[in-house]
Structure 1
Amino acid sequence: MKKIIFLFSIIAILSGCGLTPVQQEAVSRFAKASGAIGEISASSFSQSRDAVIKMNVMSIAVNGTGDIKNLDGPLDPDRIVQRISATTSLKSYGELLLALAENTQEAELKEASDNFVDSFKSVSNRKLTNEQLESLGIIVREIGGLLVEYKKAQAIKKIVLETEDDVQLICTLLENEFDKHYPGTAMVFNDAITRLRADANIALSEEKGIQNRLIAIEAYQFAITNKEKLDDLAKRIKSLVSSLKKANTQLVGAIKNESHSISDIRAMGAQFKELSDAIRVFSGK
């Protein structure tokens, strides 16, 4: 009888050994932030490619420098898929943390775990091996029965600590892709804008027919509008991703020490609405 009482006492103690309120807040806020940034960045890559294609079509229409055989330039489907895969892994990471932090059913936990493992395997130059990722997935899939909150807390701690470097790697990739001075998506987008504006200017100086001049004016206006959108979007995404990197460092600190500051994590909320608004403007929705 004493052994049974002792066993239940241990279970009761461990059941209460989940995350502290501060750790819970840090995980939940960071999970939502990383998931949102991953989703927003993925849509931005697709929209950037679409805009570059349209600008090159307009360039051809005004007898400019656009290449009809290479409308998307360096933003070919394979490159975009790679970038979207990286952002998807960030999104799935956030969704897994959120699933672990909240009252999620076992089947949903398994799905979140599988999505995380599968998407992270697509990240180039990652630190975690396939075997390590599979091991993290197994830890999540084994959550159930007694001591659920304890198991969830242990899973969160292990996942956060082991993925720290790779999350930073993905964030750096996104920072570079939206830096107009780095050979990435924003630079390609900006180059297409510059060429279209120059092509439209030349067409306006040479064309006499009203129809051709209207086409050139439309092309010029499209370039100017996209220049403004790109400048705003790139600035916001870079700023938010930079904040996410700091938040990731704070999350790791909070997991190791509950008294660690999570001010950067808390400060990210206001940035999301601004970025979401910028995305809607960028996509024309």
Structure 2
Amino acid sequence: MTIDELHEARRAADEPLFADLAGDARISFEFFPPKTEKMEATLWDSVKMLEPLGPRFISVTYGAGGSTRERTHATVRRIVQETSVKAAAHLTCVDASKGEIEEVISDYWDAGVRHIVALRGDPPRQGDTFEPFQAHPDGYASAAELVEGIKAFKPFEVSVAAYPEVHPEAETAQSDLDNLKRKLDAGANRAITQFFFSADNFFRFRDDVAAAGIDAEIVPGILPVSNVATTKRIAGMCGASIPPWMDRLFDGLDALPAARQLISATVAAELCRKLYAGGVRDFHFYTLNRAELSYAICHLLGIRPDGGMPEGANQ
């Protein structure tokens, strides 16, 4: 820990946690393409609420099905056309040939998209489990190959995924790090982590990444939890652990959505504050297409609309 980080950690312990933060964090947000008109209205209300905070980009997830791909493309295109925010389109290798992926990439480029989140992707789910991944005979076999293909086609900015608690399919933590390095060596600009709930897990991962000779930007992914059961299901598929205290914290709040939101924002904001004290200045929020929680956390971090600083904050 550096002297500045030590000072910041002491400040976080001695003063009100969020008093006069400088607002110097950079943020980004993830959405998924809406399936209904009502969901679309909710998404765009959320985008418009978060846009004034000046995010680096807004990413939109992508599925293996044709209709999902079309919704992703439509959502990304609308972000480009109707907002001032850069759009990042997710792209996976699942069930697609290199030619089909090149066509999607070309469509994104023509729509004004210059940032892709490149993922291997998961095959269609059977209940709560996934079938083993199988590459398309004429497709890419890994995210690293996909990154290389994207970079060879057009000069996109590319983000990839990282796993602080190890990808569930990885044989070892080292093999997971090796895979991350392959993706970055293939040309990716940064890695965005899967969500986690312990700052120490991220710091350990950051140290491991540095020890592996990786110097690329590693952005922590933050998931404000409002439904523990849903989060457990997602976490089980991506290797994230749910601490026992989280179950106890949300126990008895099923019929109290406002109380759940308050607790959710508190838990996620505390995690972000610990990360901030450890030198983190970039945060990626998994919004689940709702803006309020992410907006509240950003506000606590000192981020104001249009880049304004909170009065009295350290400059």
Q: TM-score, normalised by structure 1?
A: 0.26
Q: 1 or 2, which has the higher strand percentage? A: 2
Q: 1 or 2, which has the higher helix percentage? A: 1
Q: TM-score, normalised by structure 2?
A: 0.24
User: Higher Cα Rg: structure 1 or 2?
Assistant: 1
